[in-house]
Amino acid sequence: MENLENLKTEALNKINAAADLKSLEEIRVALTGKKSYLTELMKSLGSLPLEEKIAMGKSLNVVKNEIESALEQRKNILEEQALNDKLAAEKIDITLPVRPEIQGRMHPISKIFEEVMAIFGQMGFEVAEGPDIEDQFHNFNALNMPPNHPARQMQDTFYLNDDPSKPFDMDAAYVIRTQTSGVQIRTMEKQQPPIRIIAPGRTYRSDYDATHTPMFHQLEGLVIDKNITLAHLKGCLYDFVKAFFELDELPVRYRPSYFPFTEPSAEMDIGCLKTKTELKVGAGNDWLEILGCGMVHPNVLRAGGVDPDEYQGFAFGLGVDRLAMLKYGIPDLRTFFESDVRWLKHYGFAPLDFSSMTGGLSDNGGSAR
C-alpha cells in the first residue's frame, strides 16, 4: 500500500513536470502501458488470496484512475499551450507595409473614375448606375431620339438578337448601351428632383482605331432642380476641369452644338498648348474639345416623369478614356484593353493611394506611380 502511495506521488510529479505533449506521451506509456509497473501489479493480483485481491484491486484502480485523470488534465494544458505558441509564432502584423513592394497596379481608367468621383462627390453629387444591356426606350427614345431620328445614325449601335429563330426586329431589340445618357432617365424614374448625379460606366459602339475601341467609358452628369440655369452648368464644369487637370487657371470656352436630349446644347473646350511634339493642357495657342453638355430638353424630363414646367436642369457627357489619354499622356487607346502587365506597370497607379480633393487626386505624396 505504501509502495502504491509512493508510486502515485512519483507518477503525478512526473506528469506535472512534462514539458510538452511528446514527453507526456512517453510518460503515459511508461506509467500505464502494457509493460508498466502498474499493469504488472494488476496482473499479479490473480495470485493473491481473495480478500487481499479485492482490497488491493480497489486501491490499484483508484491510483490508476487518478493517474489517468492527471494525464488527461496535463494533456489539455499542454495542448492549449501548444496552440497558443503556434498562434504567436504565426502571427502576421497586417499594419506592416507590403514586401518587397506592391506588385499590383490600378488601371488608369479606374484611377480616373476615382478622381471624378472625388471631385463631383465633394460638390454633392451621388453616383448612379444603369445596365450595360439596355432597352431602346432608355438608350434612345426617352432621350428625345425616336426611331428613325437621324442622330441615331451617329452612334454605331450594337443590337442584340436574343432569339435567332425569329426574324430580327430592329425596333424591339435590346442594345448594349451606346451612351451613359440612359442613366438620366433611370434616375428620374426612381427619384424626384432635386437630382444631382454622375453616372460612370462602360459604353459600346462598333468602331476601332487608335482613338476608338468597341468598348469605351463615359461619364454622364445630371442636375435637376427648380432654378437651375446655364450659369450653374458653366460654373460646375469650370470647377470640374480645373480640379481634374489639377490647374489653378485653365481657359475654357463653350461652342454651340447639337444633342437631341439638350436644348440649348454646347461643347466645352479647354485651352491647350500644341507643338509638333507635345500637347499640354492649360493656357496656350489652341483649344481641345472635352465634353458635351446642355440644358435638359423638356421631352427628356417628361419621359423621366419630371414636370418641365416646374423643374429644369443641365446634363453633360464625356469620354473618360480620352480624358485618361490626355491627363496621363497615353498615346493609343487600344493599349488600355490589351491587359499587358508591362503597360500597366508603366501607366498604372499604386492601388492604395486613394484620390481625394484634400489629399491629392493623382498624386497624394505616396508611392503614386
Residues near ligand DAH (CB under 6 A): 179, 181, 220, 259, 262, 292-294, 315-317
What is the nearest approach in angstroms of ligand DAH to the Cβ of residue 301?
A: 13
What is the nearest approach in angstroms of ligand DAH to the Cβ of residue 257?
A: 8
How far apart CA 150 and CA 260 sit, in angstroms, is 10
Residue nearest to ligand DAH (CB): 317
- 3-class DSSP assignment, residue 121: helix
Residue 200 or 294: the one with the smaller Cβ distance to ligand DAH is 294
CB atoms inside a 10 Å sphere around CB 121 = 15
- 3-class DSSP assignment, residue 324: helix
Please state, in angstroms and as integers, the Cα–Cα distance from residue 118 to each residue in 109, 142, 291, following that order: 14, 30, 19
What is the nearest approach in angstroms of ligand DAH to the Cβ of residue 327?
A: 19
Residue 180 backbone dihedrals phi, psi, to 5 degrees: -85, 0
What is the nearest approach in angstroms of ligand DAH to the Cβ of residue 294?
A: 5
Residue 37 or 258: the one with the smaller Cβ distance to ligand DAH is 258
What is the nearest approach in angstroms of ligand DAH to the Cβ of residue 92?
A: 48
Residue 203 or 362: the one with the smaller Cβ distance to ligand DAH is 203
Residue 130 or 317: the one with the smaller Cβ distance to ligand DAH is 317
Rounded (to 5) percent helix, strand, coil in the chain: 45, 20, 35
Please state, in angstroms and as integers, the Cα–Cα distance from residue 323 to each residue in 215, 245, 314, 327, following that order: 15, 9, 21, 6
Residue 244 or 316: the one with the smaller Cβ distance to ligand DAH is 316
CB atoms inside a 10 Å sphere around CB 59 = 15
What is the nearest approach in angstroms of ligand DAH to the Cβ of residue 315?
A: 4
What DSSP line would sit under 39-94, residue for residue?
HHHHHHGGGS-HHHHHHHHHHHHHHHHHHHHHHHHHHHHHHHHHHHHHHHHT---T
Residue 25 or 267: the one with the smaller Cβ distance to ligand DAH is 267
Amino acid sitting at position 114: E
Return all residues near 84 (Cβ < 8 A) that are at least 6 apart: none
Contact 349, 106 (CB under 8 A): yes
Contact 333, 321 (CB under 8 A): yes
What is the nearest approach in angstroms of ligand DAH to the Cβ of residue 287?
A: 18
Contact 167, 194 (CB under 8 A): no
Residue 237 or 344: the one with the smaller Cβ distance to ligand DAH is 237
What is the nearest approach in angstroms of ligand DAH to the Cβ of residue 129?
A: 16
Please state, in angstroms and as integers, the Cα–Cα distance from residue 215 to each residue in 180, 204, 211, 337, following that order: 12, 5, 11, 9
Residue 74 or 196: the one with the smaller Cβ distance to ligand DAH is 196
What is the nearest approach in angstroms of ligand DAH to the Cβ of residue 331?
A: 23
Residue 293 or 323: the one with the smaller Cβ distance to ligand DAH is 293
Beta strands, E only, the chain: 126-127, 133-134, 158-159, 175-176, 195-204, 215-225, 252-259, 262-274, 279-281, 286-296, 312-319
